[in-house]
Amino acid sequence: MTVKIRLTSQVILPLLGAACVLVLWAIVSAAVAPDLPSPIRTWQESRRYVLEPFFKDGEMNQGMGRLAFYSLVRVGKGFALALAIGTPIGFLLGLSRPFHQSFDPIVQFMRPISPLAWLPLGLVIFQKSEPAAIFTIALCAMWPTVINTAVGVRSISQEYLNVGRVLKLSRLKMLTRIIIPATLPYVFTGYRLSLGLAWLVIVASEMLTGTPGVGGFLWQEYNSLVYSHIILSVLTIGAIGFLLDRLMGLVEARVRAN
């Protein structure tokens, strides 16, 4: 009984939803936008990129696996940088009132700035596209980590702090034994949201810098009028983003369970 219900809710209905979107896509390409490739044409023109994911004919003509790998490495670097900067800032914001009063307005100010705005600045600073892309990813992705960490520190239960006070723990022990472990679930929620943002930014940064990767490929194929490959790139970006979120979700659940 329960197995049957799960088959319906987790397999049949999601497939039905996907089928609806495919039909809609076919109708739009047939009736409304003739330049938009149909689902079948998209598959025919993309199959090599999917079925031979690691071929390489040139810098910008490679299998999806290779392109995705470049993008993932870039996102990984930017994400790591975002965590390395964002986590301590978050702890400082949560722990120190003067620090909070000094820097919280700046955080709130910088948070809504789009990656498109940071990238040219990154190019000016670094003169090269690769570090500029990583700079942009880090700068856009770090805010959820900063904010969640700060909120986590401020919502530590007074009962845990009281244990530390009664034991007269040193500042270091208070931090390592109580404050950091109590904040960890919030920190990892921040990490998950940051990773989502980092992946969101990759396309914009690769488009503008023209570096090889899924986003760079997308932009190049638009310029070469191979529209089916735009759709291929979009689907790849979506699939990887989904997998990344699931992966971080698992990590987060593990941390929360402890």
Q: What's the closest the beta carbon of residue 135 comes to another protein, in angstroms?
A: 35
Q: Per CB under 8 A, which of residues 173..192 are in contact with another protein?
A: 173, 177-178, 181-182, 184
Number of Cβ within 10 Å of residue 175's Cβ equals: 16
Does residue 258 touch another protein according to CB under 8 A? yes
Stretch of 34-42, 54-62, 116-124, 167-175 contacting another protein, by CB under 8 A: 167-175
Residue 107 or 178: which CB sits closer to another protein? 178
Does residue 168 touch another protein according to CB under 8 A? yes
Does residue 237 touch another protein according to CB under 8 A? no
Task: Quote the radius of gyration of the chain (alpha carbons, Å).
Answer: 23
Does residue 155 touch another protein according to CB under 8 A? no
For residue 11, what are its two tokens? 């397999």
Stretch of 81-89, 140-148, 172-180, 203-211 contacting another protein, by CB under 8 A: 172-180
Which residue is listed with tokens 């329960």? 2
Q: Is 210 left (phi over 0), alpha (psi -120 to 50) or beta?
A: left
Residue 36 or 169: which CB sits closer to another protein? 169
Q: What's the closest the beta carbon of residue 186 comes to another protein, in angstroms?
A: 13
The site for another protein, by CB under 8 A, has a size of 16
* Cα–Cα dist 134/122, whole Å: 9
Does residue 166 touch another protein according to CB under 8 A? yes
Q: What's the closest the beta carbon of residue 178 comes to another protein, in angstroms?
A: 7
Q: Tell me the C-alpha to C-alpha distance, in Å, between residue 139 and each of 76, 96, 116, 177, 197.
A: 13, 22, 11, 30, 10
Does residue 169 touch another protein according to CB under 8 A? yes
Does residue 159 touch another protein according to CB under 8 A? yes
For residue 65, what are its two tokens? 């696996």
Three-class secondary structure of residue 211 per DSSP? coil
Residue 2 or 258: which CB sits closer to another protein? 258
Residues contacting 132, CB < 8 A, separation 6+: 119, 122, 123, 125, 126, 205, 209
Q: Is 168 left (phi over 0), alpha (psi -120 to 50) or beta?
A: left
| Residues near another protein, by CB under 8 A | 159-160, 162-163, 165-169, 173, 177-178, 181-182, 184, 258
